[in-house]
RNA sequence: GUGACCGUAGCUCAAUUGGUUAGAGCACCGGACUGUGGCUCCGGGGGUUGUGGGUUCAAUUCCCAUCGGUCACCCCA
């Protein structure tokens, strides 16, 4: 490994780029089906766009530098601030609710690990201007539909959903002081990943009594709609009713099989205000595929309009790992339509003329740039994945004729060259769809 | 940022207690094939064994550092 890409960055060879393209195409397809339109912003932003609300500690995880105009610049680590700015600038002019999506490349200066690089592409889908949980259901249904279209079923991927307000009400009712809420969330977030007594000690250190500690330790048990509805939630009754409605809507939108209520889903970002969700592989081997939720106060806090909003981010790295593990990546795209080969009595310029005419008709065409024997040319044609080869200048063939050879079964026919070219075209050569 | 493990052709792996010019398969290029692909046979290119030091008569092998990768923390996307 002499000089590869920077740590945490990827070279996309054709095979890898084909995988990325497959993911992107699916993202765009589903976004389109759900009525979302695509936008984009600059990959470089003022540093303060991220430091303002997120605090200075985020600077340590940013790619940042000072440009030649002495401006503090950052490579964007997330898309939401850009979205907030763009929506805010035209808030009054936009038809609400806004349904926008983007596929930005995002950057984080962190130590790279599996499923977590210093760069990734992330589908962002957001809805701005709708406060009802219909929007939450619509958004999650879109994320689920992406899984389905990629071939990932409910046995592969689960959608865990929770609601900040229900958890808050439950903790209040259990006697957890408001001031300890943030610390308790941090414990809940990793309650399954660390020993029970460690969690209990941390909770006690936050000033929780024995019954409150027990209540917090019960949070991961709340994994059904019924159990959540039965909870004592101080001031969270409306949220529970909304949550029930949300589940009903997701069901109606066809995502019910994936749905898994789980009150212990916290999500790291502090700005979430309501329903939060994450998609993860059912085996629990990988990092989260997707995370999102409602952030009703963010736009206003960012100096923008007071509009309710919600959204999710879905990265290409973990998703790609899961698709490869399940062998759901498509076979490499079909190669060439036609390979133009030339024998003894034809030259490369003849192949060029024929190629040019075929290309003008929309076909994918290649020929041997280095003069090769016919056997080499046909070998190269097969290696390039060509559907058929047209052989020019074969003996016993009239000057205006050529041999067309199907490369899958070797079937050959003689054609009048001009007629054959005139009939060739993308429509006449529709490729069979590729399968995984 | 902390800790642990791992680095040999593009890929997967070899190399007897440290012992000659570090090998193989696949892939790539070419020849047999001056008129028809996938097979076969033959040949070729490609490694300063991640890098830099150290120990030794001798280092792919042992030691240190560094870089990179993986994993767990941290944090999150």
* Rounded distance between C-alpha atoms, residue A389 and residue A337, angstroms: 8
Q: Could you tell me the residue ranges of all domains in chain A? A: 14-325, 338-423
Whether any strand B atom is under 7 angstroms from the Cβ of A49: the reply reads: no
- pLDDT of the residue at A28: 98
Residue A65: per-residue pLDDT: 86
CB A305 within 8 A of CB A88: yes
A 124-183: CB within 7 Å of strand B: none
pLDDT of amino acid A105: 94
Taking the C1' atom of every nucleotide in all shown strands and the CA of A377, the nearest one is B37
Q: Which nucleotide is nearest to A111 (CA to C1')?
A: B1
pLDDT exceeds 70 at position A50: yes
pLDDT at A93 over 90: yes
Task: For residue A378, say whether its CB is under 7 Å from any atom of strand B.
Answer: yes
Helical spans, DSSP H, in A98-236:
133-150, 164-173, 181-189, 196-205, 210-217, 225-229
Q: Which nucleotide is nearest to A411 (CA to C1')?
A: B36
Please give the average per-residue pLDDT across A403-411, as a whole number: 86
Report residue A223: phi and psi, to 5°.
-120, 25
- d(CA A122, C1' B7) / Å: 31
Give strand letter and number of the nucleotide nearest A378 (CA to C1').
B37
- State the nearest residue by CA to the C1' of B50: A1
Provide the CATH number for the domain formed by A338-423 in this structure: 3.40.50.800
**Does the pLDDT of residue A116 top 90, yes or no?**
no
Of all nucleotides, the one whose C1′ comes closest to residue A292's CA is B77
State residue A153's pLDDT score. 95
Strand boundaries in A213-289, DSSP class E:
259-261, 275-281
- Nucleotides of B strand lying within 7 Å of any protein CB atom: 1-2, 7, 9, 28-38, 48, 50, 67-77
d(CA A38, CA A29): 11
Alpha carbons A116 and A133: distance in angstroms, whole number: 31
Name the band, by pLDDT with cuts 50, 70 and 90, for residue A137.
Answer: very high
pLDDT at A348: 86
CATH topology match: A14-325 vs A338-423? no
Strand B atom within 7 Å of A76 CB: no
A255 touches strand B (CB under 7 A): no
A72 backbone dihedrals φ, ψ, rounded to 5° = -85, 120
Q: Are strands A64-66 and A275-281 parallel, antiparallel or unpaired?
A: unpaired
A394 touches strand B (CB under 7 A): yes
Q: CATH number of the domain at A14-325, out of 1.10.10.10, 3.30.930.10, 2.60.40.420, 3.30.300.30?
A: 3.30.930.10
Instruction: Provide Rg for chain A, Cα atoms.
Output: 28
For A239-265, write each residue's pLDDT tens digit.
Answer: 999 999 999 999 999 999 999 999 888
């Amino acid at each position: 490994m002499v000089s590869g890409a920077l740590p945490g960055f990827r070279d996309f060879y054709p095979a890898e780029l084909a995988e990325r393209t497959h993911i992107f195409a699916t993202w765009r397809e589903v976004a389109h089906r759900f009525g979302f339109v695509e936008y984009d912003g600059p990959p470089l932003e003022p540093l303060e766009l991220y430091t303002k609300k997120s605090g200075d500690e985020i600077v340590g995880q940013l790619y940042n530098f000072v440009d030649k105009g002495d401006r503090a610049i950052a490579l964007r680590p997330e898309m939401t601030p850009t979205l907030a700015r763009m929506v805010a600038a035209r808030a009054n002019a936009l038809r609400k609710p806004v349904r926008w999506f983007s596929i930005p490349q995002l950057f984080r200066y962190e130590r790279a690990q599996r499923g977590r690089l210093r760069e990734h592409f992330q589908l962002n889908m957001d809805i701005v201007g709708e406060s009802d949980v219909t929007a939450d259901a619509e958004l999650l249904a879109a994320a689920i539909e992406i899984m389905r279209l990629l071939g990932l079923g409910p046995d592969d991927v689960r959608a865990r959903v929770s609601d900040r307000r229900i958890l808050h009400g439950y903790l209040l009712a259990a006697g957890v002081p408001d001031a300890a809420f943030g610390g308790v969330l941090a414990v809940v977030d990793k309650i399954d990943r660390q020993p029970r007594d460690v969690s209990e000690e941390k909770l006690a250190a936050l000033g929780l009594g024995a019954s409150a500690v027990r209540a917090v330790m019960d949070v991961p048990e709340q994994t059904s709609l019924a159990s959540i509805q039965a909870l004592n939630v101080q001031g969270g009754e409306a949220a529970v009713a909304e949550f029930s409605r949300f589940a009903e809507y997701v069901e109606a939108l066809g995502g019910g099989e994936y749905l898994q209520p789980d009150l212990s889903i916290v999500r790291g970002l502090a700005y979430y205000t309501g329903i939060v969700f994450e998609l993860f592989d059912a085996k629990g081997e990988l990092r989260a595929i997707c995370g999102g939720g409602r952030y009703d106060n963010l736009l206003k806090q960012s100096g923008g309009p007071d509009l309710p909003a919600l959204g999710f981010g879905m990265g290409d790295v973990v998703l790609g790992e899961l698709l490869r593990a399940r062998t759901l990546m498509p076979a490499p795209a079909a190669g060439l339509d036609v390979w133009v080969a030339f024998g003894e009595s034809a030259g490369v310029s003849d192949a060029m003329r024929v190629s040019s005419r075929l290309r003008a008709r929309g076909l994918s065409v290649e020929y041997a740039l280095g003069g090769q024997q016919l056997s080499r040319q046909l070998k190269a044609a097969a290696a390039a994945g060509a559907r058929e080869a047209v052989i020019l200048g074969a003996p016993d063939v009239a000057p205006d004729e050529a041999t067309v050879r199907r490369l899958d079964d070797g079937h050959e026919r003689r054609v009048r060259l001009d007629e054959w070219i005139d009939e060739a075209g993308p429509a006449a050569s529709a490729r069979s769809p590729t399968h995984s």
